[in-house]
Copies of this chain bind each other. A is one copy, B any other.
Amino acid sequence: MPSFLRYALTPFLFSLTFATSTASADEGWWTFDNPPSKQLQERYGFTPTQEWLDHLRLSCVRLNDGGSGAFVSPHGLLLTNHHVARSQLQKNSSPQHDYLRDGFYAAAQEQEMKSPDLEVNVLVSLENVTARIQDALKNITDEKKALAARKEIIAQIERQSLQSTGLRSDIVILYQGGEYWLYRYKKYTDVRLVFAPEQQIAFFGGDPDNFSFPRYDLDMAIFRVYENGKPIASTNYLHWNVKGAADGELVFMAGHPGSTSRLHTMAQILAERDVIDPIVLSSARQRISVMKQYAAQGPEQARQAQSRIFGLENGVKSTQGGYNALLDPHLIAAKQAAESDFRKRVESKPEWHTEFGGAWDAIAAAESKLSSMIKPQYFRQLDSQLAGLALTIVRYVTEIKKPDGERLAGFHESELDSLRFSLFSPAPISKEMDQARLSGALAESLAQLGSDDEWVKTVLEGRSPDTVAAQLIQGTQLSDPKFRKTLVDGGEAAVATSTDPMIALARKIDPVARKMLKLYEDQVQSVTQSAGEKLGRARFLVYGNSVYPDGTFTLRLSYGRVAGYPMNGTKAPYKTTFYGLYDRAASFDFASPFELPARLKEARDKFDLNTALDFANSCDSYGGSSGSPVVNKKGELVGLNFDRNVEALGRRFVYQEETGRAIAVHSGAMIEALRKIYGAGALADELEVSSH
């Protein structure tokens, strides 16, 4: 960890900006109903029209595996990152075909490869339902009752919307409850892979180079979206600009930044630093170690584990970066100053003081309770895909019998379609790997919670983690999607009488888990939701709408400029070239993770190595922004966002203008690679049909 800690102290000295007050700089992931038009006009003399915004929004896609993408052709071609497609590549691979390692190209449409369980969403409408929800909560002062009423009204709005429109309908909570929006999505579930390069070039430099720049990754994948067995006709798609963007040019990014903490109170931030992050990091490192031991057993095990190891390592590096940011006293001081300013303004008016003044202390009290329950929350989990399926099935049959508003999160009427889609996924499950995961996690739970813990006793019954994992995994039939469907279709009776050991265990631990959840809802969630709503409303009163909400894995618009930055005593350039790829490989003597795929070696003299490969830009981004299209003022595709630099790892909490950068694949590099490296000229032609 020394190599991480070093960065901890650096990136936050200058140009810190905070979402809590008025955003300045190229900061923010803005909702499409509240675009940063004022900032864009002031900084760049550009104001997007409603048509421009609508076109971009409707061209964008959320991939529910956890990333973003965009339509790039009138026939459903969908561009995203290789590392967003990674999970589907893994699921489609086998000992015979390792598409993750070797890449994939469907030269003809009939070769396009269906993804087992990828759902993608297009945000077709947004509706502010804040008033409706606030109405339903009016006059309820008890926080637990408010929690229930909130659940109820949200489930109702979602259900009614789904029933009336047929569209996926999600309530999105923005500004910690300051606003509630109904987002309706056109949903696609027939998503077929057209092209992916080798992971070694998509993720060149591996974990070391992850979250760093200069970078030399061709982190792209192309799907085609089908409906009724045919490619969709996308009327909204981005035109491909092969020239890319120039140094200093204004660009935009539209995608789905995941959960962030920029509007969190100090109490919440300090809980992340002192309680949550250390547990998350230690547990993830433990899991990486288990997976690496598993992968070391042989090439097939390594193949199975590669996607999961990537995900865990990616998470650790990102979380550690955010954690490091919190260790920087300058960041803490600046956050404290921003909160003090907000609080002082609230206290300045007696009516604000009365309505909102207690919210910070209420959250602080709830966070202090959370601290004591975080460890059981975290380690009373079975880290196993099959165990996860078992618990979902056990809950499913019970929950759907309840009134919609009383169900557990994830089981509301509006969510069931997507849930079943993933529950019955035909993607193969390696029992061998799942057993290794489960065994390792059980050992960790035992170590962390002790053998007297109620949950540990229930699961282990005095046996060793290895024994329990072996018995559960070897005995269960849940790896068969048909078996899962039979259970679900059989309902409560089938589940209650099932002798499948994993189902049996899930039945036993579900009450313990529900008890924990109840405790969390009563003592923490109900309080922070109510107080969060107050602060959300107070923020609008104090700062107006010059604020953007924290990331919620929903569609946002960021803006910024293509730009290098001061780095490590010198300047990082705004872009890299293919020359740099060959340099970095050779400078490590082609040792892993810097080896060059064979196709790259062969193509060495077939194209101009001056071709731009990746570029840096100041658009605000976070996990979930992966795969976001980067567009110019004309709305043309100039790049494909895939990462941010180490200086931007604190973006969970702050935007760092001077050195924080998002990193994208250059639009020209993708076309050049398709044509010259992958012999995928037909695909390049299709992409370039309407290019500029």
Q: Is B584 touching A582 in the complex (CB atoms < 8 A)?
A: no
Q: Is A567 touching B568 in the complex (CB atoms < 8 A)?
A: yes
Asked if A540 lies at the interface with its beta carbon under 8 angstroms from chain B, I say no
Residues of chain B within 8 A (CB-CB) of A564 are 588
Q: Which of A8-16, A43-51, A342-350 contacts B (4 or more CB under 8 A)?
A: A8-16
Given A569-B645, A569-B646, A571-B208, answer yes or no on A10-B14 (Cβ-Cβ < 8 Å): no
List the B residue with the shortest CB-CB distance to A6.
Answer: B10
Asked if A5 lies at the interface with its beta carbon under 8 angstroms from chain B, I say yes
Residues of chain B within 8 A (CB-CB) of A609 are 579, 582, 586
List the B residue with the shortest CB-CB distance to A11.
Answer: B6
Asked if A679 lies at the interface with its beta carbon under 8 angstroms from chain B, I say no
Q: Is A589 touching B247 in the complex (CB atoms < 8 A)?
A: yes
Residues of chain B within 8 A (CB-CB) of A577 are 582-583, 586-587
Asked if A211 lies at the interface with its beta carbon under 8 angstroms from chain B, I say yes
Q: B-facing mask of A32-70, CB < 8 A → 1, else 0?
A: 000000000000000000000000000000000000000
Give the complex CA separation of A345 and B70 in angstroms. Answer: 69
Asked if A214 lies at the interface with its beta carbon under 8 angstroms from chain B, I say yes
Q: Is A13 touching B7 in the complex (CB atoms < 8 A)?
A: no
Task: Give the contacting residue for A2; candidates B208, B587, B589, B658; CB below 8 A.
Answer: B658
The CB with the most chain B CB atoms within 10 A, among A6, A9, A610, A646, is that of A6
Residues of chain B within 8 A (CB-CB) of A466 are none
Q: Which residues of chain A from 572 to 601 have a CB within 8 Å of any chain B CB?
A: 573-580, 582-584, 586-589
Q: How many copies of this chain sit in the oligomeric assembly?
A: 2
Residues of chain B within 8 A (CB-CB) of A568 are 7, 212, 567-568, 646
Asked if A277 lies at the interface with its beta carbon under 8 angstroms from chain B, I say no
Task: Give the contacting residue for A570; candidates B205, B582, B649, B659; CB below 8 A.
Answer: B205
Residues of chain B within 8 A (CB-CB) of A521 are none
Q: Is B583 touching A576 in the complex (CB atoms < 8 A)?
A: yes
Asked if A3 lies at the interface with its beta carbon under 8 angstroms from chain B, I say yes
Q: Is A587 touching B566 in the complex (CB atoms < 8 A)?
A: no
Q: How many residues of A contact B (CB 8 A)?
A: 49
How many whole Å from A476's CB to the nearest CB in chain B? 41
List the B residue with the shortest CB-CB distance to A207.
Answer: B570
Asked if A152 lies at the interface with its beta carbon under 8 angstroms from chain B, I say no
How many whole Å from A9's CB to the nearest CB in chain B? 5
Q: Is A579 touching B576 in the complex (CB atoms < 8 A)?
A: no
Q: B-facing mask of A189-221, CB < 8 A → 1, else 0?
A: 000000000000000010011111010000000
Task: Give the contacting residue for A212; candidates B212, B569, B579, B646; CB below 8 A.
Answer: B569
Residues of chain B within 8 A (CB-CB) of A587 are 214, 573-577, 580
How many whole Å from A369's CB to the nearest CB in chain B? 34
Give the complex CA separation of A609 and B209 in angstroms. Answer: 22
List the B residue with the shortest CB-CB distance to A7.
Answer: B569
Give the complex CA separation of A7 and B578 in angstroms. Answer: 29
Q: Is A211 touching B569 in the complex (CB atoms < 8 A)?
A: yes
Residues of chain B within 8 A (CB-CB) of A11 are 6
Give the complex CA separation of A582 and B580 in angstroms. Answer: 8
Residues of chain B within 8 A (CB-CB) of A321 are 569
Q: Is A583 touching B579 in the complex (CB atoms < 8 A)?
A: yes
Give the complex CA separation of A395 and B230 in angstroms. Answer: 95
Q: Which residues of chain A from 602 to 632 have a CB within 8 Å of any chain B CB?
A: 609-610
Task: Give the contacting residue for A6; candidates B13, B575, B645; CB below 8 A.
Answer: B13
List the B residue with the shortest CB-CB distance to A209.
Answer: B570
List the B residue with the shortest CB-CB distance to A585.
Answer: B579
Q: Which residues of chain A from 524 to 555 have a CB within 8 Å of any chain B CB?
A: none
The CB with the most chain B CB atoms within 10 A, among A11, A209, A569, is that of A569
Q: B-facing mask of A663-680, CB < 8 A → 1, else 0?
A: 000000000000000000
Residues of chain B within 8 A (CB-CB) of A583 are 576-580, 582-583
List the B residue with the shortest CB-CB distance to A590.
Answer: B610
Residues of chain B within 8 A (CB-CB) of A576 are 583, 587
How many whole Å from A53's CB to the nearest CB in chain B? 32
Residues of chain B within 8 A (CB-CB) of A580 are 579-580, 583-584, 587
How many whole Å from A213's CB to the nearest CB in chain B? 8
Q: B-facing mask of A478-491, CB < 8 A → 1, else 0?
A: 00000000000000
Further 15 A-B residue pairs, CB within 8 A, beyond A3-B566, A567-B568, A573-B588: A2-B13, A6-B566, A6-B659, A208-B570, A208-B571, A209-B570, A211-B569, A212-B569, A212-B570, A564-B588, A569-B649, A573-B587, A574-B587, A579-B579, A580-B580
Top 8 A-B pairs ranked by shortest CB distance?
A569-B646, A580-B583, A579-B583, A573-B587, A3-B566, A212-B570, A212-B569, A579-B582
